[in-house]
A and B are shown apart, each in its own frame.
Chain A
């Protein structure tokens, strides 16, 4: 188990719990026709979350830390994929579904493994065009169409 992750996670969850405890104090304490208000349930859960998180924090002192793992994580590819996914989401409603999806897939395929451009472009084109055609024309759904300008 990764001790430092568990400690940070328990601190984070304590904060989440405390947040819900305080936020639920602003809620009404009664509901119409009932003495049981909308605040009790989240308040109780917040308390429970704090208790369990403190318990986890305590547990982190009990077990042996084995952070040393065999697998080396590929942070570079992950962060590039993450960034292009964020860009994809941000630009989706501006540049349209087909264009954004096509570009996203081409870049992502190439990041996963270089080369084979023809297959890359073919799969990306078929997916983005195919999904748009089926969804918008056959199923009459709504997707952001082509560039807004």
Chain B
């Protein structure tokens, strides 16, 4: 079958009524998550995994996986749309990838042009979403065909590269990021070893035999962690919500922003593919690039429409690009895609080169649903932006206890024991204190998801080489990956030593 036929089949999956509904709910929740400052895409997705697994419990595993990933991915890219709303109206970004949008967005809102800024952001996000999806369709098959030739040694090195890239760019301290990565990998070793069948670090407690559940840890670290932050730090929206005003952008605004949208979409897409560099970095770089290229450079920071169009397109394109390494190689490059991958693994669907052959329904269904979801978001965001602006005023009084209740319900519904609930609470507290002290959480989740696969490939490679560690260095592709991985860690350190400021990706 050709790519187009696969895509056609994908559309058949995503146009099923229940999947259309899931895509719609996904992007709707995603927009709300993007708008609400207290909750980011990672906690939104984590919170919805258990809910989806209960909702899809009646369906066959394959279609349940397809439905879930359609909704969860919808939350992810929906949040990229929603994030711009608070940046523009309130001068507080809804999530970190919209930080840069506040620079010009809020200025525009002050001039009474909030409506056109919002709609340009939505149009930019839509164009970027479609561009990155087309690139995803074109790249998916060749990349997975290439990756299928990898042996265990190559795979091990590739995943090490992924971990190093995320650690190198996450947070302020590389040491802390590496500690979190190793800690995540260690947590993944608890339970029955899949190669030898030996129970490791379980202390004869039957509940630990299946290992620590990924879902419990992700919901605890992100959703509960953010709830505790809201309670402890008493976050309140004191800012004044600007008036939305006229929504239809003027011809001049459209003309001014069309070129930046296209440029930033392409840039954002390629930054998104790189492991470790996510939507936040993409929005940052595209803003800098536009500021250099643009004719009315002086307007930047004072309310240039390009300053809204560029970062908003870039962050959406990056979120599409970030799907590529996760789907085709099985190596997620960011915290959110790691959580999405964990969700797929829960359904026994292993992302990676075989995904497109073994589960075309899931892979192509997801890609097709993203086309539909982006269209829905454009329609949702243009006329309904005033309603979403109202969500900002949701009092945290009701939101925070409800998030705790939803987390507990979700984890209990899937795991049906109170041990996991205590684990959830423990990771929630740990998540808050670790994140507060600049220990990034994304590498921990990444280590947890990739741990079993890294270990399997590591041991398979060593078994074929009779315990000779040289196998990782003698295979040229594997060596290349390891060298890049090392450079990824060393270069930022060297730059710091030379006194340069290194931009880090705080989103994860």
Binding site for B on A (CB under 8 A): 1-2, 5-6, 9, 13, 16-17, 20, 23-24, 27-28, 31-38, 40-42, 45-46, 48-49, 52-53, 55-56, 59, 71, 73-75, 77-78, 81-82, 85-86, 88-90, 92-93, 97, 101, 104-105, 108-109, 112-113, 123, 127-128, 131, 135, 139-143
How long is the Cα–Cα vector from A119 to B466 in the complex, in angstroms? Answer: 68
Given contacts A1-B172, A88-B408, A142-B416, 17 further A-B contacts (CB under 8 A): A17-B186, A31-B459, A33-B463, A34-B195, A34-B462, A35-B466, A38-B196, A38-B198, A52-B179, A56-B173, A73-B232, A74-B233, A75-B232, A81-B404, A109-B398, A128-B405, A131-B409
Given contacts A27-B200, A85-B404, contact A93 B463 (CB under 8 A): no
Does B57 make an interface contact (CB < 8 A)?
yes
How long is the Cα–Cα vector from A116 to B193 in the complex, in angstroms? Answer: 53
Chain B residue with Cβ nearest A33: B463
B232 touching A16, Cβ below 8 Å: no
Q: Which of the 9-residue segments B270-278, B354-362, B432-440 touches chain A?
A: B432-440
A5 touching B418, Cβ below 8 Å: no
How long is the Cα–Cα vector from A139 to B64 in the complex, in angstroms? Answer: 14
How long is the Cα–Cα vector from A32 to B463 in the complex, in angstroms? Answer: 11
How long is the Cα–Cα vector from A59 to B233 in the complex, in angstroms? Answer: 28
Given contacts A42-B189, A52-B182, contact A5 B433 (CB under 8 A): yes
Chain A residue with Cβ nearest B184: A45
Please count the residue pairs between chain A and chain B whose beta carbons lie under 8 angstroms apart in the complex: 160
A41 touching B458, Cβ below 8 Å: yes
Looking at chain A's contact residues, the main secondary structure is helix
Collect the chain A residues with CB atoms within 8 Å of residue B196's CB: 28, 31-32, 37-38
A105 touching B422, Cβ below 8 Å: no
Does B175 make an interface contact (CB < 8 A)?
yes
How long is the Cα–Cα vector from A16 to B400 in the complex, in angstroms? Answer: 32
B459 touching A36, Cβ below 8 Å: yes
B455 touching A41, Cβ below 8 Å: yes
Collect the chain B residues with CB atoms within 8 Å of residue A46's CB: 186
Interface string of B181-195 (1 = CB under 8 A from A): 011011001000101
Collect the chain A residues with CB atoms within 8 Å of residue B439's CB: 9
Collect the chain A residues with CB atoms within 8 Å of residue B429's CB: 82
How long is the Cα–Cα vector from A51 to B433 in the complex, in angstroms? Answer: 22
How long is the Cα–Cα vector from A74 to B432 in the complex, in angstroms? Answer: 14
A34 touching B437, Cβ below 8 Å: no
B402 touching A49, Cβ below 8 Å: no
* Chain A: minimal CB distance from B264 (Å): 33
How long is the Cα–Cα vector from A24 to B58 in the complex, in angstroms? Answer: 40
Other-chain contact of A35, B200, B458, B463 (Cβ < 8 Å):
B463
Other-chain contact of A141, B173, B176, B413 (Cβ < 8 Å):
B413
How long is the Cα–Cα vector from A78 to B232 in the complex, in angstroms? Answer: 6
